[in-house]
């Protein structure tokens, strides 16, 4: 957690699959899409999780 910006810094695997990127749509030049293993969600605070997360 970056306290200065109130943002999480995430490390993951860059999504390169053309089919997945087609579904995702346009990605701004200064952004990228990451895959993060589900088991790592256990390490995020509960308030950072969505309603469908375990």
pLDDT reported for residue 54: 47
Which of 9, 10, 35 is closest to 21 using CA atoms?
A: 35
pLDDT in tens, 1-54: 788 998 888 888 999 999 999 999 999 999 989 888 888 778 777 765 555 554
- What's the CA gap between 36 and 41, in Å, rounded? 8
Q: Which residues contact 16 (CB under 8 A, 6 or more apart)?
A: none
Question: pTM of the predicted model, to two decimals?
Answer: 0.54
34 neighbors 12 (Cβ within 8 angstroms): yes
Token couple for 53:
């997360």
pLDDT reported for residue 24: 94
């Amino acid at each position: 957690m970056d306290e200065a910006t109130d943002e999480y810094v995430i490390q993951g695997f860059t999504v390169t699959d053309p089919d997945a990127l087609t579904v995702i749509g346009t990605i701004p030049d200064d952004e990228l899409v990451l895959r993060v293993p589900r088991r790592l969600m256990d390490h995020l605070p509960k308030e950072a999780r969505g309603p469908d997360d375990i």
